[in-house]
Amino acid sequence: MSLSRPEAITKILSRNDTGETGGHMAGILIPKNPDILTFFPLLNSKKKNPRHHITFRDEFGESRLFAFIYYNNSFFGGTRNEYRLTRMTAFIRDNNLHAGDIITLHRDENAYYSITCSRLGKPGRQRGGKLLLGSTWKIVKI
């Protein structure tokens, strides 16, 4: 059974995603959910740490080069087994994004990618004093 490719996906950014924890993570974690992964180009999992560079156009028409990477080195003697979207630090800083803000990744029928962002609220980004939990990635129906 082949999955249909979503045209857009969203992510509520975490403190880890935005660098607010001071950590040195390698990009935004992408879940291994097939419905989310089909948004991105297919990667060869038999190759160590395969990646695909994707140019996203932001809301101001600026090109942003991100890297979709499958860190699969656990199959090659390492410890990681995760997908990430990297090289996003400048975009996050340029847009003054914080935990709780939302990015939306779009892909059109010609495989052109774009990215938009929106603010959830003020810094602090908690609703009613409660921490936002659950899956922060969603498929957007267009």
Q: Is the pLDDT of residue 98 over 50?
A: yes
Looking at the domain assignment, is residue 2 inside a domain? no
Looking at the domain assignment, is residue 1 inside a domain? no
Looking at the domain assignment, is residue 28 inside a domain? yes
pLDDT band at 141 (very low <50, low <70, confident <90, very high): low
Task: Provide the total of helices (H) and of strands (E) in the chain, helices listed first.
Answer: 3, 8
pLDDT of residue 35: 87
pLDDT of residue 50: 96
pLDDT of residue 83: 94
pLDDT tens per residue, range 118-136: 987 544 444 444 444 445 6
Looking at the domain assignment, is residue 3 inside a domain? no
pLDDT band at 142 (very low <50, low <70, confident <90, very high): low
pLDDT tens per residue, range 21-34: 877 666 899 999 99
pLDDT of residue 135: 58
Looking at the domain assignment, is residue 56 inside a domain? yes
The CA–CA distances, whole Å, from 107 to 9, 65, 73, 88, 121 equal 9, 14, 28, 17, 26
Query: What's the domain range around 34?
Result: 8-140
CATH number of the structural domain spanning residue 105? 2.40.330.10
pLDDT band at 111 (very low <50, low <70, confident <90, very high): confident
Looking at the domain assignment, is residue 32 inside a domain? yes
